[in-house]
Amino acid sequence: SAATWDKVIRIEVVSGGCSGLTYQLDVEARGQSKPRDQEGVINGIPVRVDMRSYLYLAGTMLDFSEGLEGKGFHFVNPNASRTCSCGESFSV
């Protein structure tokens, strides 16, 4: 259960990439939250998102895939108006 985890996954949207915004995933200790962070549990995994990123991520699905380009996380973001060809960045 998520209650026994001592780490959380932080999901952020930061400036970067060819489309202007990119996703960033980090692992943090449970006690490292900032005042405006939102925390929750997704499929049993504790996650943390800052309020600025939350606005970009609302409704986003995070998937893990293994394809020709290798394995990794894939964001399906309904708020993105454009993504780059490599899928690493987006704009709204």
Percent share of the chain, pLDDT over 70: 91
pLDDT at 36: 92
Domain annotation for the chain: domains and CATH numbers: 2-87 (2.60.300.12)
pLDDT band (50, 70, 90) for residue 83: confident
Query: Quick check: 3 pLDDT over 80?
Result: no
Express each pLDDT in 16-41 by its tens digit: 877 788 889 999 998 888 889 999 98
Which pair of tokens denotes residue 31? 């006690």
pTM score? 0.78
Q: What is d(CA 77, CA 51) in angstroms, rounded to the nearest whole number?
A: 16
DSSP string over the chain: -GGG-SEEEEEEEEE-STTSEEEEEEEEEGGG--TTEEEEEETTEEEEEEHHHHHHHTT-EEEEEEETTEEEEEEE-TT-SEE-TTSSEEE-
- Between CA 64 and CA 66 the distance in angstroms is 7
> Is residue 5 pLDDT above 70, yes or no?
yes
Among residues 1, 9, 5, 19, the alpha carbon closest in space to that of 50 is found at 9
pLDDT score of 2: 60
pLDDT of 1 higher than 60: no
